[in-house]
Amino acid sequence: MRYDERDADELEGLTQELEARYATAQGANLALDLTRGKPGADQVALSDALDGALAGDFLASDGVDVRNYGGLRGIPEARALGAELLGISPEQVMAAGNSSLSMMHLAFDTAMNDGLNGPPWRELGAVKAICPVPGYDRHFTLTESFGVEMIPVPMDAAGPVMDEVEALVDAEPLAKCMWCVPKHSNPSGCTYSDATVRRIAALGQRSPGFVTLWDNAYAAHDFHFPGAELDDVLAHAVEAGVADSVVLFASTSKISFAGAGIAFVGGSANTLAALEARLAVMTVGPDKVNQLRHARFLNGRLDEHMRAHAALVRPKFEAIERVLAAALGGLGIARWTQPSGGYFVTVNTLPGLAKAVVALAGDAGVRLTPAGATHPYGQDPNDDTIRLAPTFAALDEVETATRTLALCIQLASARRLRAAAQAAQAAQ
Ligand SMILES: Cc1ncc(COP(=O)(O)O)c(C=O)c1O
């Protein structure tokens, strides 16, 4: 029975029962952690063959000795790998070091100081960034570090709500960029629809100099194969005559070794030239040895490799779905996403309860990403969004943690509704 259909007495009894169950859960002394989207030890082990993959052969396909300096755009076979991930051609890709986040920083820095698709933002005044929510906290930290104001816009199952994005871009000429995690989004898990991708690709027409930061971190991270299809934002931007308005990112962080993968940036010839010029101030070249061993290890077998990841990751997401459906289904106190790939599930509580639920879970030994982290400045206005990141924990830990979370949602909701019912009774 839905919680909101119970009367005050029923809610009192329910709350007492849940308090007792919560006390028992606390007594179990759990120490579980669903906070960060890190691959599990079994996942990184899938790439152990990287160690020794070069077997003393350090020559890239173009004859370059990868042990030496140089090659800011990356070696051809690494660019081909990035092209496969991003669904574009190798000439549109730069292969870099181990972190796509640092490439996003490079793009932001270039846009701010040198100009990317227009004059430097710092010459325009106080530019603003559009941030679809819920979103990735490190995008927000990066944006804030440049002193750029963030404007949240809502997401639905098709991606950012484009009527709102377009209205914002039209009304606010200094809204000069937007963050996107277009496939198996962090943290909702949605994949942007074709219509949304087309409309995003055309934003550069509405606002000269606009830059879409297209962080395709989960491009190949499907649970089922063939995986979700994502439309080609760069091709649509080219068609719309605004090829320089989209910068794409990806990496092998969740494919090989999270701390020792390779990152990719995609974009037009102008975009890559601008990024390369700024990058040349920072480095003589990327780790091409790592690029070469990744290419030798992954090229031609990416699909097979991602299926092996899926076999390890999918059961954890299925466990979350199973446990949440059994514990919360039909109660009217929570919604949650059922992603077909990626690293995250978003759970929505009743308004105003996410912080309380995360605190209850923490006190019962289950660490969750702080409520609010999914929104700019850590401010979730409805306080209802919780991000679950199950990949690093073992399957039985995911099950136990999710069961505890569900109990905390039940308890927080029952307490809230009981208080409301009692207040309503007192007012009669
Ligand atoms: C959306 C998104 N982008 C980027 C990253 C980090 O990527 P990288 O390891 O390539 O810096 C993550 C990691 O969780 C992520 O979720």
Please, where in the chain does CATH 3.40.640.10 lie? 50-301
Mapping DSSP onto H, E and C, the string for the chain reads CCHHHCCHHHHHHHHHHHHHHHHHHHHCCCCEEECCCCCCHHHHHCCHHHCCCCCCCCECCCCCECCCCCCCCCCHHHHHHHHHHHCCCHHHEEECCCCHHHHHHHHHHHHHHCCCCCCCHHHCCCCEEEEEECCCHHHHHHHHHCCCEEEEEEEECCEECHHHHHHHHHHCCCEEEEEECCCCCCCCCCCCCHHHHHHHHCHHHHCCCCEEEEECCCCCCECCCCCCCCCCHHHHHHHCCCHHHEEEEEECCCCCCCCCCCEEEECCHHHHHHHHHHHHHHCCCCCHHHHHHHHHHHCCCHHHHHHHHHHHHHHHHHHHHHHHHHHHCCCCCEEECCCCECCCEEEEECCCCHHHHHHHHHHCCEEECCCCCCCHHHCCCCCCEEEECCCCCCHHHHHHHHHHHHHHHHHHHHHHHHHHHHHHHHHC
With beta carbons less than 8 A apart as the criterion, state whether 175 and 125 touch. no
Distance CA 182, CA 323 (A): 27
Return averaged pLDDT per consecutive 10 residues of the chain, 428 residues in all. 95 98 96 93 98 96 98 98 98 98 98 96 96 98 98 97 98 98 97 98 96 98 97 98 98 98 98 98 97 97 98 98 98 98 98 98 97 98 98 97 98 97 89
Which residue's C-alpha comes closest to atom 15 of ligand 1?
217
Distance CA 346, CA 296 (A): 36
Which residue's C-alpha comes closest to atom 2 of ligand 1?
217
Long-range contacts of range 358-361, CB-CB < 8 Å, 24 or more positions apart? 358/386, 360/22, 360/408, 360/411, 360/412, 361/401, 361/404, 361/405, 361/408
Residue 193: CB within 6 Å of ligand 1? no
Third-level CATH fold of 3-43+304-427: Aspartate Aminotransferase, domain 1 (3.90.1150)
Q: Residue 33 — left, alpha, or beta (φ > 0 → left; ψ -120 to 50 → alpha)?
A: beta
Distance CA 108, CA 93 (A): 17
Per-residue pLDDT at 36: 82
Distance CA 368, CA 388 (A): 7
**Ligand 1 atom index nearest CA of 102:** 11
pTM exceeds cut of 0.95: yes
- Between the CA of 258 and the centroid of ligand 1 the distance, in Å, is 9
Please, where in the chain does CATH 3.90.1150.10 lie? 3-43+304-427
Q: How far is CA 16 from the centre of its chain?
A: 38
Strand ranges for 278-421 from DSSP E? 334-336, 345-349, 366-368, 385-388
Residue 251: CB within 6 Å of ligand 1? yes
Residue 220's CB: how many other CB atoms inside 10 A?
A: 23
Residue 317: CB within 6 Å of ligand 1? no
50-301 belongs to which CATH class? alpha beta
Q: What contacts 260, CB < 8 A, 6 or more positions away?
A: 98, 290
Per-residue pLDDT at 44: 98
**Ligand 1 atom index nearest CA of 101:** 11
With beta carbons less than 8 A apart as the criterion, state whether 353 and 416 touch. yes
Backbone angles phi, psi at 292, to 5 degrees: -65, -40
> 35, 86, 104, 251: which to mutate for ligand 1, most atoms within 8 A of CB?
251
